[in-house]
Structure 1
Amino acid sequence: MSKPFDAEKHVDHMAEVMGLTIAPEWRQSVVDNMAATAAVAELVLAFPLDDHVEPAPVFEA
């Protein structure tokens, strides 16, 4: 089983990797946004797909 996603550690790590400086007054907002994004991604990844499903060749709204 994988470890739970730690948004704070991820933000700190990626800021270092990308050479970004996050102002202290914005840091919590960035962490909160990353946590929300991870929660949505978890829902998408948990959706079961049949092995025979193929992506649509053209997206039309």
Structure 2
Amino acid sequence: MSERNDPSTGGLDAYIEAAAGLLAIPLDPAWIGAIGSNLAVLRTAAAHVAEFSLPDEAEAAPVYEA
């Protein structure tokens, strides 16, 4: 079983198909690979953000206005 379809690694192909069905988005099967690649990159980036620890004293930034 490939990593893309292995449930223990996220099963991105199954997720993509389920999300497209849930949101009623027409999905060309030729795009599943590209969508999966983008989601894999986003998942890696999100993991880096999630593992960055902040001190307890950290406060949310105020709303930025240019």
Output the TM-score relative to the length of structure 2: 0.71
Q: How many pairs align?
A: 59
RMSD (Å) for aligned C-alpha atoms = 1.9
Runs of 5+ consecutive residues of structure 1 not aligned to the other structure:
none
What is the SS of the residue equivalent to 2:58?
coil
Cα distance change of structure 1 residues 60 and 5 upon mapping to structure 2, 3 Å threshold:
farther
Runs of 5+ consecutive residues of structure 2 not aligned to the other structure:
1-7
Output the TM-score relative to the length of structure 1: 0.75
**Cα displacement (A) at 1:54:** 0.9
